[in-house]
Amino acid sequence: MLLAIDIGNTNVVFGVFEGEALRTTFRVEASRQRTSDEYAVLVRQLLVAHAIEPRTISESIIASVVPPLTDVLGNAVREGFARAPLVVGPGIRTGVAILYENPHEVGADRIVNAAAAFERFRNAAIVVDFGTATTFDCISPRGEYLGGVIVPGAQVSLNGLLAHAARLSWVEIAAPPRVVGRNTTHAIQSGIVHGYASLVDGLVRKLVAELGYPCAVIATGGLANLIARFTETIDMVDPDLTLVGLRILHERNRERHA
């Protein structure tokens, strides 16, 4: 089985594939204090908790936007499963031509998402990823990665607001009962949920107008299901898009990695 690892700024997300089927997923905090030994033990324990026998993990792939954690998780895979993981980076076969001015600046997760979206639609697409940053990634009808937009994520924006407003306190990011908030909690929730939904719709429309052709719009990331409900431009939500993209890239590089 394949262990796919998506290292983000907030969480590390793991997915276990048996062939093309995603058997299970789990996530842990992206802690830079844990050692590779600690991650190895933790991942093995979580696999067992999800009814996956660790010895059945025969291959692994990692995409990371946190360089200090890339080697830590890579070593954890080697120590925990006696396997060297494939790491998404320069030289890997993605099937996506990267038209960014400096391809090395593009986060690995954004390329993985682009590969997964084009594999699914075989046409122009925009991926909206609700993570620590909310990113918009544009894929041409020929499967080229064109670039996109980076916006501070919803949780980052909320944290920034609370850090600078003395009279506001923590609230859960959830859908309020109406757009007009009748208390401070609902007013903040409306600003985050409806504000980001409107931001998504506005940016997607601008991107499509600039590109000059229709695009399928797919959302992923932790808040995708919540915010997509209030948008008009998102066609589909797939919270596992990045993991699926990792499986696709592993298939494309299996022989070379072996």
Residues 6+ apart with CB under 8 A from 237: 218, 219, 220, 224, 225, 228
Whole-number pLDDT of residue 258: 61
> Which residue of the set 109, 129, 137, 238 is catalytic?
109
User: All domains of the chain, ordered by start, with CATH?
Assistant: 2-87 (3.30.420.40), 97-244 (3.30.420.40)
Residue 219's contacts (CB-CB under 8 Å, 6 or more residues apart) are 127, 128, 129, 130, 200, 227, 228, 231, 234, 236, 237, 238
Q: Catalytic site residue 129?
A: no
Q: What pLDDT does residue 175 have?
A: 96
Per-residue pLDDT of the chain (258 residues; tens, 9 = 90+): 999 999 999 999 999 999 999 999 999 999 999 999 999 999 999 999 999 999 999 999 999 999 999 999 999 999 999 889 999 988 899 999 999 999 989 999 999 999 999 999 999 999 999 999 999 999 999 999 999 999 999 999 999 999 998 888 889 999 999 999 999 999 999 999 999 999 999 999 999 999 999 999 999 999 999 999 999 999 999 999 999 999 999 999 987 766
What pLDDT is recorded for position 257? 64
- For position 128, what pLDDT does the model report? 98
- Residue 54 confidence (pLDDT): 94
Neighbouring C-beta atoms of residue 168, cutoff 10 Å: 15
